[in-house]
Structure 1
């Protein structure tokens, strides 16, 4: 009898312990489940968002107060009828990495674009922009700027000093006459597309663009007549397009571009290198220019200097200067330049005065 009473008690105790364990474990599972849900919801709130409103024929951007603008990473509003972008809207897109506004009717870009410190890609092509705001220089993370097919006449003067991370600059099909001097400080630039503009010249210090691989300044037609010598120091250049300009002579330094694989020069009236060399391809052109650097193609007679003409004459009065030489100086044949022969002017041309240090003039 005693054994029978003890056994049921032990069984009841075991069942109670088992039930308590199951209840405890079930509470633990529910707690973990709730924690998991809260973490997922929190991650969804902080995850970057992409807003695409392109191709919707919008005249203005819709205002939705429930949207957290600070969470948007990519905003596409291309192919609409937008004429302006609100300053307040742009200023709140603090985490924006990509902004595509191409193919609208924009006359200007809001100054608040300078608040987009994380922006890496900006596409504003196909609009009616006359200029870019100076505040764009504050977008120091910008890697690609596409401003093709606008009405730009210039770029901000100091754009190259600030956008140090820029890798691709596309400004073709505008009305730009000069690239700012600071362009030569874009040391990370890989692509520069400035075709179909009104370029008169390029910056002189292009050798600083050590990573530039593609340079396209074609189709500036009657405006661009000369390339700077520094083009030949672009050590990473793979492709150079200067076609359809007014260039008559390529810089000899281009022959030193070891990585150059594509050279387009058609549509120019080249004298150096001559057309028969150009027709043979890029290898022949580079060889010709290298030989020209070494003086192998320099057959033109040396120009006679102005001082040499005077040195051959026994006096500076002009009496012994041949008539044709006097005409080169713009001096009438029936008149001498006796005033130059006066002691006062002869003193100015004396070797002591010309070759002495600056202290001579300060005495």
Structure 2
């Protein structure tokens, strides 16, 4: 039997009465310990069947891999205890505005649909920790999304048509992963430095659209992985020389002139050393490797005096290990065992 809107009569008497009834049901379900997981995935559903239980008893609802074209407003309004909602791989063009009623929702997966936008009410889901909206037709995010979702840790919006990220995104101080690859991004917000916990940033494959990176990208002091590959970037911000925790950098597919290609081919440490030198005004030639020690010391990213005299030769030669291919344009054969800077030595600090 297809899902039909329930309690229509109750809704006619007034929304407040309905909300109060749902809240009471949610409290009863929680206190009785009878929260349920409902899995209706992969059943080729065109519409939802009539639920056999109180919707307030559901803590996880999986509707993925069906043919759903809409989700009734009255259904989401009653999922008062749902923590995980998975509706990926359907035919959804919109999400119900009542999704804002899900105050306990932590994980929302709407990937693989036909969504052009997310409802503004999503900002009311203040418990959200993860949003996956990959593979849709999104052109933008709600302007105020970052002001309220302060618990958000992972935002995945790759493979859409997003042109700009809202400036409110810089308020997501708990965000650890931002995946915005394969979009139409023309720029990034200027005040990224507020993302103090961001560890992974991927804005690759925006192709001809993304031509510059903001200076603030070098102020992401928790950043471990940065992928800006396959864009139209010609210069990396000099501030990136200060990214002490950065372990993986992908820049292939750009037409970089700063740093030049011969520096990029030497790997991450050489890139950071070059940018540090630009900040300090000490860089003259990327081919003079002996100058890198002084530049890194002045920038505070390296101090050769901390290395015992007996170990300095080992640091420069024997302590070499292969560099991640995604951190350079793929010229692995050009990494020499006699390279001056070792990722292992850097990351151990």
State the TM-score bracket (shorter-chain normalisation): 0.7 to 0.9
| Helix, strand or coil at the partner of 1:132 | coil
Match for 1:251 among 232, 237, 243?
A: 237
Q: Does 1:216 align with 2:216?
A: no
1:180 and 1:43, CA in 2 relative to 1: closer, same or farther beyond 3 A?
closer
Unaligned stretches of 5+ residues in structure 2 = 1-28, 286-349
Partner of 1:31: none
Find the aligned partners of 1:44 and 1:172 in 2 and give their Cα distance.
39
Q: Does 1:53 align with 2:40?
A: yes
Cα deviation per residue 1:50-99 (whole Å; 9 max; x = unaligned)? 000000000001013x4010010000000000000000000000000000
CA contact (8 A) 1:46 1:71 kept: no
Find the aligned partners of 1:120 and 1:43 in 2 and give their Cα distance.
16
Partner of 2:310: none
Find the aligned partners of 1:154 and 1:84 in 2 and give their Cα distance.
20
Tell me the number of residue pairs that the alignment of Structure 1 and Structure 2 aligns: 257
Match for 1:282 among 253, 259, 268?
A: 268
Match for 1:128 among 114, 128, 150?
A: 114
Matching of residues 62-211 of structure 1 within 5 Å? 62-64=49-51, 66-211=52-197
Task: Give 1:297 deviation, angstroms.
Answer: 3.1
Find the aligned partners of 1:298 and 1:162 in 2 and give their Cα distance.
47
Find the aligned partners of 2:277 and 2:147 in 1 and give their Cα distance.
37
1:161 and 1:43, CA in 2 relative to 1: closer, same or farther beyond 3 A?
closer
Cα deviation per residue 1:215-271 (whole Å; 9 max; x = unaligned)? 000000000000000000001000000000000000001010000000000000000
Match for 1:265 among 247, 251, 259?
A: 251
Unaligned stretches of 5+ residues in structure 1 = 1-41, 300-363
Task: Give 1:44 deviation, angstroms.
Answer: 10
Find the aligned partners of 1:297 and 1:175 in 2 and give their Cα distance.
39
| Helix, strand or coil at the partner of 1:237 | coil
CA contact (8 A) 2:30 2:57 kept: no
1:43 and 1:216, CA in 2 relative to 1: closer, same or farther beyond 3 A?
closer
Task: Give 1:115 deviation, angstroms.
Answer: 0.2
Find the aligned partners of 2:214 and 2:206 in 1 and give their Cα distance.
15
Larger RCO (CA under 8 A, 6+ residues apart): 2
Find the aligned partners of 1:77 and 1:294 in 2 and give their Cα distance.
55
Length-normalised TM-score, structure 1: 0.69
Structure whose alpha-carbon radius of gyration is higher: 1
Find the aligned partners of 2:178 and 2:30 in 1 and give their Cα distance.
40
CA contact (8 A) 2:73 2:96 kept: yes
Partner of 1:351: none
